[in-house]
Structure 1
């Protein structure tokens, strides 16, 4: 069900596959001497090769020689666009169908793995929104700066919160997965950034019309250039 929502967001055919082959999955499992969790395998099979979804910002690791175990026992499946953060699944959790995904934000102070999402499906939805609003979706935009509380209230009233991928400092809203709005908050709960994305121009124009924001960037800017 979650992967169908991702397909809707990216305007991909429900009946078409955009992924790796069963043979490629089998070869990876053979190389790693493990069985992939059902929902991870399903994502690779259905959506793993879709460029805008998986490779426009942060990157899904490819099966041939990129996916592998870290020294401390995590199956690493995703990396941040500058390779300073990674996401993976605990080796002992690979027997689960839909295990939690952990992030490793490797800094000087800390390099521990922290839980990112409760399930594998939610992780891929989280990344679909993250990548989509930063360029993966055809129509996208962002604003960095203090956001008026009336605008935050308007988003809360007119779009639906996605609690599974929201947290205190980043709240994600949708209209039935046809468009996404992501709001960033600081420690005082002030909104400091807005990210938007959709595959549909009419929806994009409607968001711009309804949110009175002096956008830092809109994908229309690229068309003008």
Structure 2
């Protein structure tokens, strides 16, 4: 069985265990040796981060080829209409790549949402809108670039879910641990790769698949 940790990463925490002043790092939130992030979350973004001690499970979660849906709650500047968001559903050209079609809808502010520290800076004369955006990629700052492309800059970004795993029951900085099995297909590929490599001597590192 693999360990899988669900962490609600706050704003301003860098997605690594090694110190990086002036930002806090993951080691400031949980003392769990041998687990590593499965994918990343920008320092100025909040929400669900998955960590595991299993290399195959890490690949399954993080590799875009598996098309695992990632759900974001996004507060944008302005009041887009449904038609304004249509380009996101078709895919938009961000210059270095064209996004896959996203699922996008306007939502009410999520219930029970915590205050961000520091708070979002608003412009008094401009309204804001909450969106739910589901993508199956994970390019650098992709969601922020997508909303800016259609004219509605992101003010706050919270990752609510990765696949079936969600933030439900997790306050900022809190986490819970699950024990899950790596998918059979991923285990099989790992076994095949291992058979093609010479045997390693010595103690296994902490990020070996269990």
Q: TM-score, normalised by structure 2?
A: 0.24
Structure with more of its chain in helix, by fraction: 1
Q: TM-score, normalised by structure 1?
A: 0.23
Which one scores higher on RCO, CA 8 angstroms, separation ≥ 6? 2
